[in-house]
Amino acid sequence: MAEMVIKKKRPKNLDLMSIKLPLPGVLSIIHRIAGAVLFLLMPVLLWLFQSSLTSPETFAIFKSVVAHPLVRLVLLGLIWLFLHHFCAGIRYLLLDLHKGIDLASARLSSWIVFAVSLAMTLIIGVKVLW
């Protein structure tokens, strides 16, 4: 049988002001927001990629665009979102394999995701963008 009725009444609290989202929850919503933001900016990123590869002239345009401090700041933000999605994604793949599913290790791995993605963002920011 594929259908099943869950009758159990569970306590429900959806008051966003009183909910304190635990760290794995924060990780999860940033993972989703990162995916959405990267999707929305895809045409801009594809345009940048195209400009960088088409001709020396468009490459010069690409370089001048990414030289702008505000663009660099946005790119750094996007790199962080990508790396967060990357690290959190690896964590999810491990959870799928039932690795680290108890509360303590799930919290620890969330801390690791934040630490590693932020550290990688800093390294790339320093090495590539500045």
Partner 1 sequence: MVNRIVVGAHYGLKDWIIQRATAIILALYTVLFLAVVGAVGPDSFEAWRGIFASGFMKFATFLFFISLFWHTWIGIRDIWMDYAKPDGLRLLLIIATAAVLVGYTGWSIQILWRV
Shortest Å, Cβ 42 to partner 1: 6
Which residue in 12, 17, 39, 70 binds partner 1 (CB under 8 A)?
39
Residue 101: partners with Cβ closer than 8 Å, 6 or more residues away: 95
Contact 118, 80 (CB under 8 A): yes
Kindly write out the interface string for residues 78-97 of this chain, putting x where it contacts partner 1 by CB under 8 A and - elsewhere.
--------x--xx--x--x-
Residue 114 sits in the site that holds partner 1 (CB under 8 A): no
Number of residues that bind partner 1 (CB under 8 A): 25
CA dihedral 15, 21, 26, 29 (to 10 degrees): -30
Shortest Å, Cβ 35 to partner 1: 5
Q: Which of 52, 72, 71 is nearest to 128 (CA)?
A: 72
Residue 56 sits in the site that holds partner 1 (CB under 8 A): yes
